Amino acid sequence: MDKSKLGLIHIYTGDGKGKTTAALGLILRASGRGLHVVLGQFLKGRETGELHTLSLLPGVTVFRGKPLTKFSFQMNEQEKAEVLQSHNAFIQELASYCRQEETDLLVLDEVIGACGTHLLDGSLLIDFLKHKPEHLEVVMTGRNPSPELLELADYVSEICKRKHPFDKGIPAREGIEK
């Protein structure tokens, strides 16, 4: 495979279900073509079905940020400051790993949400994207990307919710939403 054609930036955004699912589909495709893939998950703490499957795929490495037990709006200022510090270190760890391990595809799941809730310093993400390895393809998921992220992106795909079972009180189901 000609890796010199890699290096673009993707955003999967919107209020609909499927942002992470789309990114996982790209991971599956990349692994099937022999690419080295890194998935970094922000704002997620519980176990999900895809984590087991990803561990079976060749060339795929998963990193998870500090598990969260609360939504950002439920945190006090000290908790937010701790998560911010942890996420800032996490993005730097991912960047360093990708440079050292010659990663082809980096998926930053919910990184946009982490920036939007001020649980990640967005300037660290922007700096990484501007100085990433030339052939590193980067995918970011989350709602409400900043204008700076939209400007840097080569792809922006918006997933729109028309209906969702959660609106009827149906919680996330194992094997479908988690």
Per-residue pLDDT of the chain (178 residues; tens, 9 = 90+): 788 899 999 999 999 889 999 999 999 999 999 999 999 999 887 778 888 899 999 999 999 987 787 888 888 999 999 999 999 999 999 999 999 988 999 999 999 999 999 999 999 999 999 999 999 999 999 999 999 999 999 999 999 988 888 889 988 888 877 7
> pLDDT at position 167, please?
87
Distance CA(59)–CA(9), nearest Å, equals 20
Distance CA(70)–CA(13), nearest Å, equals 22
